Amino acid sequence: MLYSEKVMDHFRNPRNVGVIDQADGVGEVGNAKCGDIMKIYLKIDGDAISDVKFETFGCGSAIASSSMATEMIKGKPLEEVMELTNKAVVEALDGLPAHKLHCSVLAEEAVKAALKDYYDKNNIAYDPKQFPNVDCAGCH
């Protein structure tokens, strides 16, 4: 079988779909090659993610990766969220086909872009090296 049960479950029943009005951080990333676009909205209370929503335009793997990533960061402290990797998303989904691994990379990048947006909006200092792949030309 091409896709794991977990991938199929998160594709058919994605968690945390939607928009957070007045989100504390918003990250939008896209992959020009496949046309996938992911947007992650974060609500942050204190030093943790109190709510997270996503909108993804893309394939089933992109939707499943977004859904799983939001589940993995909800309720977590920001420090832990910064450590989210696409590898962890793929493992949590019980794997993705090699040609779909970029979908999990997009999920990681969208989460990090949303965190960077939050830090920038609130003038919170951070190490730019923590966001090597986040080009914020698309940040609002």
Catalytic-role residue among 34, 59, 136, 139: 34
Q: State the pLDDT at residue 127.
A: 86
Angle, CA of 44, 62 and 75, to the nearest 5°? 20
Stated pTM of the model? 0.92
Q: State the pLDDT at residue 57.
A: 95
Q: State the pLDDT at residue 1.
A: 59
Within 13 A of 106's CA, how many CA atoms are on the CB side?
A: 30
- Per-residue confidence of the chain (140 residues) as pLDDT tens digits? 589 999 999 999 999 999 999 999 999 999 888 889 999 999 999 999 999 999 999 999 999 999 999 999 999 999 999 999 999 999 999 999 999 999 999 999 999 999 999 999 999 998 888 887 665 444 43
- The answer to whether 103 is a known catalytic residue is yes
The pair of three-digit structure tokens given for residue 96, joined into one six-digit string: 């993705």
Q: State the pLDDT at residue 97.
A: 94
Catalytic-role residue among 59, 103, 136, 139: 103
The full DSSP string for 49-85 is: EEEEEEEEES-HHHHHHHHHHHHHHTT-BHHHHHT--
Q: State the pLDDT at residue 15.
A: 98
